[in-house]
Amino acid sequence: MAAYPSGLDGASGTTLQALQAQELYPANFRMLHRVVLTIGGRELAFSGYVLVDRSRAARVVAFSEMGGTLFDVLVAPPAEPRVIRCAPGFKPAWIGPGAGALVQILYLAPPLPTARTAPDWTIEVRAWARLEGWDTEVPVSLLAKNLAKGYTVEITVLQMTLGGADASKMTVEPAS
């Protein structure tokens, strides 16, 4: 059996608070993942790329099966998540609070989450793995449920790399 971080046994139902109480992730990393969003009985599968500087900001970009950008969100608390780009059919009013809140909850440094975002989510860790260069196993398969909105997000990590996420380069200047 794998050695899990203190207080986490890898069983289903790992709580959000237990995940956040740990220093699971390095201070700075990049991640490529596969995501399945299930809402209203329909599934949407896409790939995502996340850059995380845990002390300051995260940026998540989702790509369709054909490589088009579905959305691009900058999360830099205490500001609200900023939707940089949204494909037709995706409303910034859904993407910012949804993807932004989940990225903040999972990857940015405590004290998180805010009272506004946390009670709506449950997180189940399905699998753990060790990242090269990092001593602690990290969740590589998660099921996040938004109880208030009635959707689930299944995340499977395909690759994680230490470094490469500089928060000062994540910002986007307003279009002129």
For residue range 127-143, what is the model confidence (pLDDT) as tens digits? 888 877 788 888 899 99
Tell me if 119 is assigned to some domain.
yes
CB 47 within 8 A of CB 41: no
Query: In this structure, what token pair is assigned to residue 131?
Result: 């990242």
Given a cut of 70, whether residue 175 has pLDDT beyond it is no
The whole domain housing 121 covers: 27-160
Under the banding of pLDDT at 50, 70 and 90, the label for residue 171 is low
Mean pLDDT of the chain: 78
CB atoms within 10 A of CB 72: 20
Domain total in the chain: 1
Contacts of 117 (CB under 8 A, 6+ apart): 97, 101, 104, 105
The more confident residue out of 7 and 157 is: 157
pLDDT for 162: 86
Under the banding of pLDDT at 50, 70 and 90, the label for residue 169 is low
Query: Is there a cis peptide before residue 97, judged by omega within 30 degrees of 0?
Result: no
CB atoms within 10 A of CB 159: 11
Tell me if 55 is assigned to some domain.
yes
Residue 84 phi, psi dihedral angles, 5° rounding: -85, -40
What does the pLDDT look like over 9-43, one tens digit per residue?
444 444 555 555 456 788 889 999 999 999 999 99
Spacing of C-alpha 124 from chain mean position: 13
Tell me if 34 is assigned to some domain.
yes
